[in-house]
């Protein structure tokens, strides 16, 4: 298996320039390689296409030709921008890491020790950001499918996401939940509470067709999102209150 680059190494690497002969053979020009604006758009389109296909069909079953076709670009652009299929897989993970970073917000530097109301308000903001980035966004379905497949396969990408993104965000949210509920941030109860909250939110993404059908909704529009946000914040408040009421 090819060696996986770290996020920092992947960001630092430069595109793979193709020789003039190879450019001609694959129907590309120097402009295809060198146009920054067009290049960034092509790169983003390839990541979006790969997220859809890797999530739906799996990494092994997805061809670079299918990715390029869905992205409406030349197959050679995958080698140019990512060095190949494995590099594109890594770029997908990095794009998800960025989104999850938006969801986690400033959790790493947030200190609500001694201020339970402020801690709860921060967690309510996390709920709204998750809904916006993962549940309500057009790309949320492909993102969740990609992550769940990588988790199921326990791939190198999953290991990186767990160690560098999911683990740290979960740890920070446990600390903030503990500040809101008066619990030990390292306890099994706190960790499971945060996982339970995340699981509820994730269901509204992966089970969205079921939710829409049972609720009689046509789509997850603004009114539906407000209702979902209200429900999740009620659940959060109940989880916090239940722990505060426990005898010490």
**Tens-digit pLDDT profile for residues 215-234:** 999 999 999 999 999 999 99
Alpha helices in the chain (DSSP H): 7-12, 20-25, 30-34, 36-57, 64-71, 76-82, 85-104, 116-130, 140-153, 156-161, 167-181, 188-206, 208-215, 222-244
Predicted confidence (pLDDT) per residue in 13-59, tens digit: 444 444 444 444 444 444 444 444 568 899 999 999 999 999 999 99
CATH level 2 (architecture), domain 7-89? Orthogonal Bundle (1.10)
In angstroms, the Cα distances linking 59 to 6, 36, 155 are 19, 28, 10
22: helix, strand or coil: helix
- Separation between Cα atoms, residue 194 and residue 149, nearest integer Å: 22
- Separation between Cα atoms, residue 185 and residue 175, nearest integer Å: 5
CATH level 2 (architecture), domain 92-244? Orthogonal Bundle (1.10)
Question: Model's pTM, two decimal places?
Answer: 0.78
Q: Where in the chain is the domain with CATH 1.10.357.10?
A: 7-89, 92-244
> What tens-digit pLDDT sequence spans the chain (248 residues)?
444 444 444 444 444 444 444 444 444 444 444 444 568 899 999 999 999 999 999 999 999 999 999 999 999 999 999 999 999 999 999 888 888 877 776 788 888 888 999 999 999 999 999 999 899 988 888 999 999 999 888 888 888 888 878 899 999 999 999 999 999 999 999 999 999 999 999 999 999 999 999 999 999 999 999 999 999 999 999 999 999 987 55
Phi-psi region of 84 (alpha: psi -120 to 50; beta: other; left: phi over 0): left
Q: Are 184 and 190 in contact (CB under 8 A)?
A: yes
19: helix, strand or coil: coil
């Amino acid at each position: 298996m090819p060696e996986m680059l770290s996020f920092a190494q992947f960001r630092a690497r430069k595109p793979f320039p193709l020789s003039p002969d190879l450019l001609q053979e694959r129907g590309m020009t120097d402009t295809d390689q060198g146009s920054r604006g067009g290049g960034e758009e092509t790169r983003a389109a390839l990541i979006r296409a790969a997220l859809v296909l890797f999530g739906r069909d799996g990494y092994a079953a997805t061809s670079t030709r299918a990715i390029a076709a869905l992205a409406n670009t030349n197959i050679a652009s995958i080698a140019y921008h990512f060095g190949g299929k494995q590099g594109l897989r890594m770029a997908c993970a990095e794009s998800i890491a960025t989104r999850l970073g938006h969801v986690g917000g400033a959790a790493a530097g947030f200190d609500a020790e001694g201020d339970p109301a402020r801690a709860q308000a921060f967690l309510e903001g996390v709920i709204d950001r998750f809904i916006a980035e993962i549940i309500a966004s057009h790309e949320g379905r492909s993102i969740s499918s990609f992550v769940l497949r990588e988790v199921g396969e326990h791939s190198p990408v999953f290991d990186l996401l767990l160690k560098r993104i999911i683990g740290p965000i979960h740890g920070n949210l446990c600390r903030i939940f503990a500040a809101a509920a008066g619990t030990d941030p390292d306890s099994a109860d706190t960790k499971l509470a945060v996982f339970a909250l995340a699981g509820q939110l994730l269901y509204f993404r992966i089970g969205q067709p079921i939710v829409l059908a049972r609720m009689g909704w046509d789509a997850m529009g603004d009114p539906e999102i407000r209702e979902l946000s209200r429900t999740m914040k009620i659940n959060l408040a109940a989880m916090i209150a239940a722990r505060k009421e426990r005898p010490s």
